[in-house]
Amino acid sequence: MAIAKAERLMNLALCLLGTRRPLTKRELRESIEAYLEAGSDDSFNRMFERDKDDLRELGLVIETVENLEGETGYLARRDSNRLPAITLDAEEAAALGLAAKVWQQARLAGAASGALQKLRAAGLPEDVDPYGAHGALEPRIPVHEAAFEPLMLACRDRRPVVFDYRKANAAQPEQRHVEPWALECWRGHWYLAGWDRDRGAERVFRLSRITGKVRSRAGRFTVPVPDVVTVRETVAGWAGETADRSARIRLRSDAGFPLRAKATSVRELGNGWDELEIPYGHGLDAWLVEFGPDVVVLEPEELRADVVDRLRAVAKG
Amino acid sequence: MAGKPVRPVNAIDQTRRMLSLVTYLRERPGARIEDVARAFGITEDELVSDLDVLPMCGTSFRGGDLLDIDTDGERIWWHNPAALGADAAEPLRLAADEATALLVAARAVATLPGLRESDRQALLRATAKVETAAGEAAGASSRLSVTFESEGGVFADVDRAIAERRRLWIRYYSPARDEVTEREIDPIRLVSVGHTYVEAWCRRSEARRTFRLDRVAEIRILDEPSAPPEVELRDLSEGLVQPAAEDPEVVVEVGPGGRWVAEYYPHDSADELPDGGLRITLRTPDPASLKRLALRLGRDGRIVEPRELAESARSAAREALAAYDGAGAAG
């Protein structure tokens, strides 16, 4: 029966951590059962390279040293792999315990519990769990977008990517070459900020609009990554939250609570209607139409015309 | 598929866990299976499967010094802890992904406005310590960030009501009906998935309901005890809105400008149309609640089924236009 990969990785890790001198590939092959059973040199070599990458992925620093005979040796030095001393009290431990549970994305959830387990091995207190007491708070970070993981890795490793992106109102996706800087989750959706090579400008992309695969490109970033990358401001602008003007509307007295919540002034007209002054930003016309006959736009004329236009389209069906 | 509750059987995760496990077990001879599983956030079965692998592992040549770890089903015994040199069993430094996952989550949780101040302080202290311990590995964590949205005051009241097991009175805005209703609710838990929600037993509808905190217009903690019936907590990882199979079907056809509907509404299917639009089929217990969507879409889309819904949107639009015909000439 084939030996489980976890067993093979574990043995390789323990060998590399346990040795004081670099071990050659030959020595490792003779030490680890799974490698003895690997068959041909080729398949062993492939397996060994993959395993080293996997161990590096989980944080092991593996050094490559050439010995006098020109043979390559490998070892994981203790001082480069040891967790620096860290002391956390019970409250801090509980807070981290809550944080480690919020990811709903397999890779990050695995990594977060891995981090907690390493801290646990280093003596992180276990008993007190103030959140467990009533368990009221259950923050979750949703990740439903397939593009998330490849983009996360590309941001981490600063690798350029290419993907097909369909803008909100475009029928066809368009290929975009991007130097990915940062990912941000806002209101439950993920966004990517980066340098758009085709546009020669900074752009924000919504991950759910990426169609097909995200592919890495060879080479480096051509533009320096800014110290502060802002995603939320751009997205808030899309959402019409950056209003620069104001509008006057009539609203039926018992309707439109969210419009009232945003209003800068409300005046009762007495005939079952109120008059409101509200911020006028991108997207207000579509929002007002949702209230149907309970809203009448007074001014500006441009907004009034947009709303009438939209209502006519609906009335026609 | 992303979004599933997470515990993949994954060789990398298992290896990572076993490396920490040997360090942990070395210090704790006779550790109880139950306690170790809890400390590692895994099931007892997962722990037992690790304990099956560990005796096949060792530091050196075959057969020489495999780890002699076994369990009587209750406690775990390691008979040759010297098999790992003292320094081969030290806690390992955090990988970049581990530091990122933990730090980004910790910073996000610290933004929750309703978090008790003492807990927030503990979290900030812990975050700073982990950043220091992670060293360079913490660097990439600035490339991911998450903000939870929630209404601070409302959140704090709900959190307190849950802790003190008290009933809440709320005025709640329902966009589907464009109305504000008063109700008493027995809160069960707070959930943050993009927006923050309270899941509660609604005394008005005698049913479980989920309320979005930014739609709570007013809130008061009542003196009555909260007494929600025992309800099984749902797995919310697939989203808060989980339509039932018996819910009526709604069909919406949108043009290219209405494709966002498929992003915002959970749906059964979204088929491409020749003009670059979509034909979207979804289910909802209350199709009338989609009248707003029909109005919003304008020329970017229309409701196909049910026909009553399409007709109610059309007549609402006609009624709205009437107001402009009158005032239009004067205004």
Please tell me the distance from the alpha carbon of residue A187 to that of residue A185, in angstroms, as a whole number: 7
Domain B152-238 has CATH 3.40.50: no
Residues A233 and A196 in one domain: yes
B5 touches A: beta carbon within 8 Å: yes
What's the predicted TM-score (pTM) here? 0.74
Lookup result for tokens 């947009």: A306
Residue B287 has pLDDT above 50, yes or no: yes
Count of the separate structural domains present in chain A: 4
Q: Is residue A139 part of a domain?
A: no
Which pLDDT score is estimated for A133? 43
Least confident of B54-68, B82-96, B101-115: B54-68
Pairing relation of β-strands A174-186 and B144-147?
A: parallel
Residues A282 and A298 in one domain: yes
Please tell me the distance from the alpha carbon of residue B30 to that of residue B49, in angstroms, as a whole number: 18
Q: Is residue A312 part of a domain?
A: yes
Cβ partners under 8 Å of residue B284, min gap 6: B243, B247, B248, B250, B290
B152 touches A: beta carbon within 8 Å: no
Q: Which of B194, B193, B200, B197 is nearest to B233 (CA)?
A: B200
**Residue A105 buriedness (CB in 10 A; 0-12 / 13-18 / 19+):** buried
Residues A100 and A125 in one domain: yes
Please tell me the distance from the alpha carbon of residue B21 to that of residue B33, in angstroms, as a whole number: 12
Summarize pLDDT for B3-62 with one digit per residue, the tens. 334 444 688 889 999 999 999 998 899 999 999 998 998 899 999 999 999 998 887 654
Lookup result for tokens 């849950």: B162
> What residue numbers bound the domain in which A99 lies?
90-134
Residues A233 and A258 in one domain: no
Residues A193 and A253 in one domain: no
Residues A153 and A211 in one domain: yes
B12 touches A: beta carbon within 8 Å: yes
Residue-by-residue DSSP string for B158-198:
HHHHHHHTEEEEEEEEETTTTEEEEEEEEEEEEEEESEEEE
Q: How far is B3 from chain A (nearest CA, A)?
A: 5
Q: What 3 state SS string does A254-298 have?
A: CCCHHHHHHCCEEEECCCCEEEEEEEECCCHHHHHHCCHHHEEEE
Which has more confidence, A128 or B288? B288
Q: Which residues partner with B281 through β-bridges?
A: B251, B269
Q: Is residue A142 part of a domain?
A: no
Residues A54 and A102 in one domain: no
Indicate yes or no: CB of A96 within 8 angstroms of CB of B180: no
- CATH number of the structural domain spanning residue A18: 1.10.10
Q: How far is A68 from chain B (nearest CA, A)?
A: 23
What are the boundaries of each domain within chain B? 11-89, 96-143, 152-238, 249-326
- Which residues in chain B have their CB less than 8 angstroms from residue A6's CB? 11, 14-15, 18, 53
B244 touches A: beta carbon within 8 Å: no
A208 touches B: beta carbon within 8 Å: yes
Q: Is residue A113 part of a domain?
A: yes
Residues A167 and A99 in one domain: no
Q: Which helix (H) or strand (E) holds B329?
A: helix B307-330
Which of A238, A263, A294 finishes a domain?
Answer: A238
Residues A59 and A124 in one domain: no
Which of A73, A102, A134 finishes a domain?
Answer: A134
Would you write out chain A's pLDDT as a tens digit for each of its 317 residues? 457 899 999 999 999 988 888 999 988 888 888 888 888 889 899 999 999 999 998 889 999 998 778 889 999 998 889 999 999 999 899 889 888 888 878 889 999 999 999 999 998 888 655 444 445 567 778 788 889 999 999 998 999 999 999 887 677 889 999 999 999 988 778 999 999 999 998 999 999 889 889 999 999 999 999 888 878 777 777 766 666 788 999 999 989 988 988 888 899 998 999 999 998 888 889 999 999 999 999 989 999 999 999 999 999 87
Q: Strand runs (DSSP E) across A150-292, as ranges?
A: 161-165, 174-186, 189-196, 201-206, 210-216, 245-252, 265-268, 273-280
Q: Is residue A289 part of a domain?
A: yes
- For chain B, what is the total number of helices (H) and then of strands (E)? 9, 13
- Which residues in chain A have their CB less than 8 angstroms from residue B101's CB? 100, 103, 108-109, 111-112, 114-115
Q: Give CATH for domain B11-89.
A: 1.10.10
Mark B238-261 as b/e (b = at least 16 C-beta within 10 Å).
Answer: bebeebeeeeeebbbbbbbbbbbb
ipTM: 0.80
